[in-house]
Structure 1
Amino acid sequence: MTKKIEMTISTRIFRLQYKPNFQVQLNQFIMKTRQISAWVMAGMVMSTMFTACKKSDDVAALPPIGGYNTSNDVAASNLKAHWTFDGTNNEAISGTAPSNSSNASFGTGVKGQALQLSSGYLVYPTISALSSTSALPSVTVSAWINLANNNKTVSSVFALTQALTAQGDWNQGPINMYVETNAHPATSDTLQLHGAAHTYLNGNYGVGVDNVNAYGTVGTDFQIVKGINKWVHYVMVYNGSASTFDVYANGQPVSNKNFQKRTLPDGVTPVGNLTMSTPTQVVIGSMPNSGVGYTNSAVQSWQGLYTGLIDEIRVYNNALSATDIGYLYQLELAGR
């Protein structure tokens, strides 16, 4: 472009030499040429800046966390059930709606909206992805909880159960994920998380495995979870290959190390992969008992209904690694 301008100047000078007022016209021409060059350069700069800005806008605003852009990317192929509670209580993958509910509404969640229960619950019919004998050989259940202690009853977050008419006692599972809100005074900031899984042998109840962030020496055997009336990321993991059970809070392991390895009643044989008793159902906010339709499971005095918020329940058919649990926590905390 500069070369063209120089050629133009030379040509115009040659022509002007044979006209009157040559010097005046030449000066005017040079000034105009300088203005044009300035405009051209400014245009080029602005174009470059615009292009750079546009290119930046095309790139994701936030960098990946652990290689994941959103929480839905974590172990995506193993995610078998997901409750977002964003204006709906339906399970997101299957679209299954609750068959029974009480005192359930929506509040502000970690991501969008959350389930708000006031001594309430949701009961679901069978969700096919969770209802085969080998549906969950290993299992991870994650959820965000926001509640307080009551010093009276436990608060069940999530339970995968037998059918309403088949469930015997509450602890015949196959999955229970709850908070022992009866273990501490209502003013205490300590949450006692308790996860449990159950396997069936030859179609009959076999053995239960569980873990709780209590017993033994604090800081050595287990970790205290502080967090009433604020969001806590609660994850329970049973690894069928290793026969281990772990509980995490806010991306960190908190369960009792003395109860991590699980064996059959002989104390030697590893429990191994979980076997389900089918069909299964899901209840959120209550233990499976007659108060919510499980006719053969009596309500016990220590069993209450959930009061507080629950968000982003996820069920995986594998044992998430500690690293992925940390990424899941960070992504959901960031609203991603």
Structure 2
Amino acid sequence: MGKYMLKTAAIILMAGLGGLGFTSCQKMERPELVLIPDDTARLNGPLQLYLGFEDSPLDSIHFDEGTATGISYVEGVHGKAYQGSATGQIQFASAGKLAEMSSFTVAFWLNTEKHEGGAQCIFMLPNTEDFWGNMFATIEGNGNPDDNSMQLKFNFGPWVDFSGSNGMERLPDMYGKWRHLAFTYDENTSVFSAYLDGQAIPLPAAVANPEANGEPLGPLAFQNVSKFVIGAYQQHIGIQNDPEAWMLRYTGMLDQFRVYTKALTAEEVNTLFASKK
């Protein structure tokens, strides 16, 4: 009987200690729960490249940092800005979803001085099998001290040349100040649009409504896409041989560089300009 009572007491004591242990565990401090935000909407949204140039060559959409050479950061329209040079560029190892876009908007602020001879490249979406790449914008030289207009060329398959001929006026009053540019193409309507400081630029019908083989251009299909470069031609990053003498890097400033995989509306473009963000 004594042994039975001793065994029972031991069981009760162990149960008590177990209960205390359980209660103690419940009261232990735990590390704070960290919630990881769902970035699916941002990563899969239409804005697929955003460069604010805040002392860094960082794409704020994918947190992908490009390789910058020969550039610096200066005061811009909003925060800091890209300052190019004769050797400056930012190279991204991948174009990401820009390679697949069938519509687009490219929008940015620029502030540059005149240069003589050659053509400076603002940006380029390369094509490893084509001399001209898939999409780019360039600024031709201007040696006229009395002319502040700019000959800018934009290519996305069709050429858009603001040359002062064929109904395409040169862009007015473009040097020595911040100007906002945006270019859009909508695959659903086959309409190309260009904007300066939030306002649509009048374009000839053949430019605004590009065709292929007599039919509306429709969805774009970029080919052999590799990398993405700011401030230089694809030849400057080792694609399609060495750069030719007329191929110059962009020496001006850039800010708030965006690429969307859709065509923004005129109102949305104007909002980019007005907000300066």
Q: Determine if the TM-score, normalized by the shorter chain, exceeds 0.5.
A: yes
Match in the other structure for 1:292: 237
Contact 1:149 1:188 in 2 (8 A): no
The Cα of 1:222 is off from its aligned counterpart by: 3.7
- Over 6 Å off, 4+ runs: none
Unaligned runs of 5+ residues in structure 1 are 1-75, 198-207
CA positional deviation for 1:187: 5.9
Superposition deviation, residue 225 in structure 1: 2.1
**Aligned-pair Cα RMSD in Å:** 2.2
Q: Are positions 1:85 and 2:53 aligned together?
A: yes
Structure 2 counterpart of 1:261: 209
How far 1:143 moved relative to its partner? 0.7
**Distance between the aligned counterparts of 1:191 and 1:263, measured in 2?**
26
Task: Determine if the alignment matches structure 1 residue 304 to structure 2 residue 260.
Answer: no
1:152-171 aligned within 5 A = 152-162=117-127, 166-169=128-131, 171=132
**What does residue range 1-336 of structure 1 map to in structure 2 within 5 Å?**
77-99=45-67, 101-119=68-86, 120-131=88-99, 135-162=100-127, 166-169=128-131, 171=132, 173-180=133-140, 182-183=141-142, 185=144, 188-197=147-156, 208-216=157-165, 222=169, 224-254=171-201, 256-257=203-204, 258-264=206-212, 266=213, 268-289=214-235, 291-294=236-239, 296-332=240-276, 336=277
The 2-side partners of 1:279 and 1:213 are apart by: 26
Q: Name the SS of the counterpart of 2:234 in structure 1.
A: coil
Q: In proportion to residue count, which structure has more helix?
A: 1
Cα 1:145–1:260, aligned 2, differ >3 Å: closer, same or farther? same
Q: How big is the shift at 1:83?
A: 0.4
Which deviations, in whole Å up to 9, do the C-alpha atoms of 1:168-226 show, x marking residues without a partner? 30x1x32112222x1553663112222111xxxxxxxxxx2132333447xx7546321
TM-score (norm 1): 0.64
Structure 1 residue 86, shift from structure 2 partner: 0.8
**Gapped regions of structure 2 (runs ≥ 5):** 1-43
SS in structure 2 of the partner of residue 307 of structure 1: coil
Kept in 1, the 8 Å contact 2:51–2:256? The answer is yes
Partner of 1:31: none
Deviation of 1:93 after TM superposition, in Å, equals: 0.9
CA shift digits 1:14-55 (9 cap, x unpaired)? xxxxxxxxxxxxxxxxxxxxxxxxxxxxxxxxxxxxxxxxxx
Shift of residue 244, structure 1, vs aligned partner: 2.4
Change (3 A) 1:184 1:211: farther
Larger Rg: 1
The Cα offsets for residues 223-278 of structure 1, whole Å up to 9 and x where unpaired, read as 632121211101111222222222211112236324221111x3x11211111224
Q: 1:244 to 1:151 in 2, by over 3 A?
A: farther
- The structure-2 alpha-carbon separation of the partners of 1:254 and 1:261, relative to structure 1 and needing over 3 Å to count, comes to same
State the alpha-carbon separation in 2 of the partners of residues 279 and 259 from structure 1.
24
Share of identical aligned residues, percent?
A: 22
Query: How has the CA–CA distance of structure 1 residues 188 and 280 changed in structure 2, closer, same or farther, with 3 Å as cutoff?
Result: same
Structure 1 residues 230 and 244: CA distance shift in structure 2, 3 A: same
Alignment partner of 1:118: what SS?
Answer: coil
Q: Which residue of 2 aligns with 1:57?
A: none
Q: TM-score, normalised by structure 2?
A: 0.76
User: How many residues were matched structurally?
Assistant: 232
Q: Which moved more, 1:224-233 or 1:296-305?
A: 296-305
Deviation at 1:96, TM superposition (A): 1.5
